[in-house]
Amino acid sequence: MNPRLLFVLRRLGLTIPVLFVMSVVIFLIIRLVPGDPVRTMLGFRATPQSIAQVRAQLHLDDPLWMQYRDWVAGVLHGDFGQDFVSKAPLSELLAQRIPVTLEITLLSMLLAVAVGVPLGVRAAVGGRWARRLTEGFVVFGISVPDFWLGIMLVLLCAGTMMWLPPSGYVPFLEDPGGNLTYMILPVLTLAVAEAAYIIRTTRGAMLGVIGRPFIVYLRAKGTKERSIVYRHALRNAATPIATVIGIQFGVLLGGAIVVETLFALPGVGRLIVTAINQRNYPVVQAGLLVVATLFILVSLITDLVVGFIDPQVSDRGKS
Amino acid sequence: MTALLDVRGLVVTFPAPGSGLRRKRVHALSGVDLSLRRGHTHGLVGESGSGKSTLARCVLGLQRPDDGSVVFDGTEIVGLRGSALRDIRRRIQPVFQDPLGSLDPRWTVGRSVRESLDAFGVGSPLDRERRVRELLDLVGLSPDHADRHPVQLSGGQRQRVGIAAALASGPDLIVADEPVSALDVSVQAQILNLMARLQRDLGVAFLFVSHDLSVVEHVSNEVSVMYLGKIVETADRADLFAGPVHPYTRALLDAVPVPEPDARLVHVPLSGDIPSPIDPPSGCRFHPRCPRRVDSCSRELPALTPVEALNSTGHTPHRVACPVVLPARP
């Protein structure tokens, strides 16, 4: 069989146990949080009878393994359950929320890569000032927490300068321009740290490649410096860069929870935060499941991309 | 006939390891002259640390000398930058010792060979593709090899790729720095024969750097022997190997193992190691180890002097930097 296809299949097979373990953890972790969803729903004046009735309705008295089995069975059929509070089916809710989170994270990722990779290359091959400036940016980006940076951006761009709306959201399909305007600050907030990590990784990987003998050889052959840097060195440095971008995607998804709350964006992150406060088990489970699955998917794509860049990674399956 | 490559008075020093205001310098080359005719091979031999690789790097424009000049086909290379340097480099191509380290591991070898064709814009893309196949054929590889990565080839095949890549831009000179030292002996012979054939067919000149005398004898027209940053003897191959004059050359040639178990050892082997290039000996660099030294050797630095009487072939004057062994001049 084609070794590359085999690599893809093997890698896909590996995600199944990961998804299983993850679903168990997600299921248990929200139930470990003190507080009772029924009491939260009915308020503290609820009678013991009504509490017992609602608990029975929601199958909260079933043994844990049975609740887990029912949940997984539903998810496998595309039914994520019902919102405890609003009684709405979660599949529709998620269908509205996922695109928002995806838009923020993907735009941040794109911006961070577009800025981070070239700056990282300059930091490796450029002069002293290029190196100092990028190093300063890296330290800033890695040290500053996203919630603080978000607030400062709001204060500056929305408060003082009144360039941009402080918060809010319109769907892209209704008003593309408006949608992107609302996205600027959240995306900027997330992209700064992301870009800092990408710069640091790119610089390190490039320095490792630039020192290798084939670069001297190419220079002696009269290859153009730009071609040496971008076509040879960057290509060889691409594996760690792609890996870090993939791992950072998980960090971005975590950051999306903060940023969605800060900028009042109707994404999965804010959904989870609200649901945790209400002990709204099905919503928390569904939200976490979506975020975790997205991360697993991105790791899968990262591995495939790395396998494509570096034939040796996928060749390992051959022998 | 004018020389293709003319090196005059080349001096290269490096900062010695360590720090401080009065940092010493490593004297890698201390005034080296060398000339190479079109289509010839000039072999450069010496121990490690003798400066032969530094000389190769200067010719490739990878090392800026402190002093001296490198003239290639009438153009001074030292100090060239940017596109002028690239134009020259198109005509001087390198082949390095470690072919695996020289080739981009992510690129197929076909693409590596093709690169200089693309960079210098030779012909149409289709022509270049055809040219790559031709070049691979020329160095004895099959066209299928073009789609492989360097790790998938053997050492000898990689060095063939290295040679094909060097030939791609149609150079006049190939600087080969220890091109066969990393290879098995049987493969060495194949690569050396390949280089000899290419030289005969294409008329490319080679500056051939090696520590291995038998390899240099096999490929060179002229040979220069280096010791501690100086050339001590230079001559036609036949002259040098038949009648070495400088005590160092003689010691080197004597040290070549004779494949004859009963042969008696007639020479006295050199004692000691090559001195440090940070504090090279005064006078003749070789005098501390020289079996024939006289008092003046530690004071006067001998120049390379032509020896008419020793020249049998008539191409290159046989030149030696040792007044002791030279016959008295008329």
Query: Among B91-105, B235-249, B283-297, which stretch is predicted with the lowest mean pLDDT?
Result: B283-297
CB of B189 within 8 A of CB of B156? no
Pairing of β B230-236 and β B205-210: unpaired
Cβ contact A213–B101 (<8 Å): yes
Cβ contact B104–A309 (<8 Å): no
In a domain, A73, yes or no: no
Cβ contact B107–A232 (<8 Å): yes
CB of B315 within 8 A of CB of B222? yes
A211 inside 8 A of chain B by CB:
no
Chain B CB contacts of A212 below 8 Å: 101
A217 inside 8 A of chain B by CB:
yes
Cβ contact B62–A219 (<8 Å): yes
**How does DSSP assign B144-195, residue by residue?**
GGGGS-GGGS-HHHHHHHHHHHHHTT--SEEEEESTTTTS-HHHHHHHHHHH
Give the residue-averaged pLDDT of A126-145: 90
Best residue in B100, B106, B177 for a mutation probing chain A (most A CBs within 10 Å)? B106
Percent of chain B beyond pLDDT 90? 15
Provide the CA B259 distance to its chain's centre, in angstroms: 26
In a domain, A44, yes or no: no
Q: At what angle do helices A234-262 and A176-210 cross, to 10 degrees?
A: 140
pLDDT, one tens digit per residue, over B246-282 is 888 888 888 777 677 676 655 666 777 778 888 788 8
Q: Sorting pLDDT into bands at 50, 70 and 90, what band is A141?
A: very high
Chain A nearest CA to B109, separation (Å): 13
What are the phi and psi torsion angles at A47 (to 5°)?
-85, 155
Chain A CB contacts of B98 below 8 Å: 213
Number of domains in chain A: 1
Of B28, B18, B181, B36, whose CA–CA distance to B98 is shortest?
B181
Cβ contact A220–B165 (<8 Å): no
Question: Hey, which residues 240-279 in chain A have their CB within 8 Å of chain B?
Answer: none
Cβ contact A214–B115 (<8 Å): no
Q: Sorting pLDDT into bands at 50, 70 and 90, what band is B55?
A: very high
Chain B CB contacts of A218 below 8 Å: 104, 115
Chain A nearest CA to B106, separation (Å): 7
Indicate the length of chain B as a whole number: 330
Say yes or no to pLDDT of A191 above 60.
yes
**Element holding A248 (H helix, E strand):** helix A234-262
- For B102, the closest of A213, A223, A236 (CB atoms) is A213
Q: Which residue has the higher pLDDT, B227 or B274?
A: B227
- DSSP-based three-state secondary structure for B27: strand
In this structure, how many other beta carbons lie within 10 angstroms of the beta carbon of residue A155? 12
Distance CA B128, CA B141 (A): 17
Chain B: residue whose CA lies nearest to A234:
B106
Say yes or no to pLDDT of B328 above 60.
no
In this structure, how many other beta carbons lie within 10 angstroms of the beta carbon of residue A4? 16
Residue type, B289: R
Of B199, B187, B94, whose CA–CA distance to B138 is shortest?
B199
Distance CA B133, CA B113 (A): 10
Q: Sorting pLDDT into bands at 50, 70 and 90, what band is B299?
A: confident
Looking at residue A186, which CATH number applies to its domain?
A: 1.10.3720.10
Domain holding A304, by residue range, is 90-315
Percent of chain A beyond pLDDT 90? 23
Q: Sorting pLDDT into bands at 50, 70 and 90, what band is B31?
A: confident
Q: Half-sphere exposure of residue B166, counting CA atoms within 13 Å on the CB side?
A: 31
Dihedral angle over CA of B191, B196, B201, B205, nearest 10? 110
A316 inside 8 A of chain B by CB:
no
pLDDT, one tens digit per residue, over A100-114 is 999 999 999 999 999
Distance CA A263, CA A270 (A): 10
pLDDT, one tens digit per residue, over B160-208 is 999 999 988 889 999 999 888 888 888 888 889 888 888 888 889 999 9
**Element holding B77 (H helix, E strand):** none
pLDDT, one tens digit per residue, over B87-144 is 888 899 999 887 778 888 888 899 989 888 887 776 788 888 888 998 999 888 998 8
Cβ contact A220–B61 (<8 Å): yes
Of B227, B205, B216, B136, whose CA–CA distance to B180 is shortest?
B216
pLDDT at A223: 85
- For A220, the closest of B60, B104, B149 (CB atoms) is B60
Distance CA A104, CA A265 (A): 10
Q: Sorting pLDDT into bands at 50, 70 and 90, what band is B317?
A: confident
Q: Which residues have C-beta within 8 Å of that of residue A148, sequence separation ≥ 6?
A: none
pTM of the model: 0.77
Residue in the structure block whose two tokens are 């997205």: A294
Chain A CB contacts of B96 below 8 Å: 213, 217
Instruction: Check residue A85 and report its DSSP letter.
Output: T
CB of B168 within 8 A of CB of B113? yes
Retrieve residue A168's tokens: 């809010």
Cβ contact B116–A223 (<8 Å): yes
Chain A: residue whose CA lies nearest to B108:
A311
Distance CA A117, CA A202 (A): 6
Give the residue-averaged pLDDT of A15-25: 90
pLDDT at B266: 59
Say yes or no to pLDDT of A314 above 60.
no
CB of B225 within 8 A of CB of B249? yes
Cβ contact B101–A224 (<8 Å): no
Of B130, B123, B113, B114, whose CA–CA distance to B165 is shortest?
B113
CB of A134 within 8 A of CB of A119? yes
pLDDT at A83: 82
In a domain, A64, yes or no: no
Q: Half-sphere exposure of residue B33, counting CA atoms within 13 Å on the CB side?
A: 14
Chain B CB contacts of A213 below 8 Å: 96, 98, 101-102
pLDDT at A318: 40
Cβ contact B94–A311 (<8 Å): no
Instruction: Check residue B257 and report its DSSP letter.
Output: P
The sign of the dihedral angle between the CA atoms of B96, B99, B101, B104 is: positive
Retrieve residue A274's tokens: 């609200």
Cβ contact A227–B85 (<8 Å): no
Chain A / chain B CB contacts < 8 angstroms: 63
Distance CA B60, CA B197 (A): 23
Retrieve residue A222's tokens: 């009269």
Question: ipTM of the assembly?
Answer: 0.79
Distance CA B137, CA B31 (A): 41
Q: Is B1 exposed, middle or buried (0-12, 13-18, 19+ CB in 10 A)?
A: exposed
Cβ contact A213–B103 (<8 Å): no
Distance CA A242, CA A202 (A): 10
Cβ contact A222–B103 (<8 Å): no
In this structure, how many other beta carbons lie within 10 angstroms of the beta carbon of residue B181? 14
Distance CA B240, CA B223 (A): 7
Cβ contact A216–B169 (<8 Å): no
Say yes or no to pLDDT of A315 above 70.
no
Chain B CB contacts of A305 below 8 Å: none
Retrieve residue B79's tokens: 């100090």
Angle among Cα A294, A298, A303 to the nearest 5 degrees reads: 150
A222 inside 8 A of chain B by CB:
yes
Cβ contact A217–B94 (<8 Å): yes
Distance CA B7, CA B111 (A): 34
Best residue in B102, B147, B207 for a mutation probing chain A (most A CBs within 10 Å)? B102
Edge-first strand order for the sheet with B75-76 is B25-36, B5-15, B67-72, B75-76
In a domain, A145, yes or no: yes
Say yes or no to pLDDT of A202 above 90.
yes
Q: Across all residues in chain B, what is the average pLDDT? A: 84
In a domain, A5, yes or no: no
Distance CA B60, CA B308 (A): 32
Of A252, A267, A254, whose CA–CA distance to A95 is shortest?
A267
